[in-house]
Chains A and B, each alone.
Chain A
Amino acid sequence: NAGVTQTPKFQVLKTGQSMTLQCAQDMNHEYMSWYRQDPGMGLRLIHYSVGAGITDQGEVPNGYNVSRSTTEDFPLRLLSAAPSQTSVYFCASLGGGYTYGYTFGSGTRLTVV
């Protein structure tokens, strides 16, 4: 049981490039979400999904797309990377009843130059 797996762990992009951050969970959790954390700041919600085929925007969705074709996977796509998207990205999932705690991945550290 791996929990929430994020890949890659580190990535450097040039401005304007696109890429996909991968997130997978093996706990059959319905709810998944993406957060970003800028240096010295708290986590901010980018997008979330309450189940396969359903996604919605969080508080900072601009510049990012998501899809949820399976319960296990919730990839985050950067369409045209900008230096302002330099951050640490965390994926989280929730299951077993909506009052339980979230399980977070170990993060992807993204630098856009």
Chain B
Amino acid sequence: DAKTTQPPSMDCAEGRAANLPCNHSTISGNEYVYWYRQIHSQGPQYIIHGLKNNETNEMASLIITEDRKSSTLILPHATLRDTAVYYCIVRVSTPNDYKLSFGAGTTVTVRA
């Protein structure tokens, strides 16, 4: 799986959009970009994933650059409950490869 690079931490004001960057310059054509988050002491929570098109769901939006070497997770209206560690993971999605490799992630602190 391709390695990812994320900033170690970032702050965000409550009610504002939080934009979380992720670099994955060695991503290959069959690797998806996944985002998970881990709120303190809880199990990781799946947020969103994409291959090459931008994706949106009820939690967030995922913007992937045209060359697929980087992506941005957008939390449109951050709340205090969005304070968590956010993990960007790229992996091949095939029937024979299910493993997730977690890096250090970005610690996001939403401030009132």
> Is B25 an interface position by the 8 A CB rule?
no
With a cutoff of 8 Å between Cβ atoms, the chain A residues found around residue B98 in the complex are 31, 33, 48, 50, 94, 98
> Is A13 an interface position by the 8 A CB rule?
no
CA–CA, A102 to B89, complex, Å?
12
CB contact between A107 and one of B42, B45, B87, B104 (< 8 Å): that residue = B42
Q: Are B42's CB and A42's CB within 8 A? A: no
CB contact between B94 and one of A31, A33, A98 (< 8 Å): that residue = A98
With a cutoff of 8 Å between Cβ atoms, the chain A residues found around residue B104 in the complex are 42
Q: Are B34's CB and A101's CB within 8 A? A: yes
Q: Is the interface of B mostly helix, strand, loop or mixed?
A: loop
CA–CA, A90 to B45, complex, Å?
12
Q: Are B36's CB and A101's CB within 8 A? A: yes
Nearest A residue to B94 via CB reads A98
Q: Is the interface of A mostly helix, strand, loop or mixed?
A: strand
Q: Are B103's CB and A42's CB within 8 A? A: yes
**A104-B94 contact, Cβ under 8 Å, with A42-B104, A45-B99:** no
Q: Are B43's CB and A42's CB within 8 A? A: no
> Is A103 an interface position by the 8 A CB rule?
yes
Q: Are A101's CB and B93's CB within 8 A? A: no
Q: Mark contacts of B65-105 with chain A using CB atoms, 8 A cut-off: 1 yes-contact digit, 0 otherwise.
A: 00000000000000000000001000001111011111111
17 A-B pairs with CB atoms under 8 Å apart are A33-B99, A33-B100, A42-B102, A45-B99, A48-B99, A50-B98, A58-B99, A92-B44, A92-B100, A98-B94, A98-B95, A99-B32, A100-B46, A101-B34, A103-B46, A107-B41, A107-B43
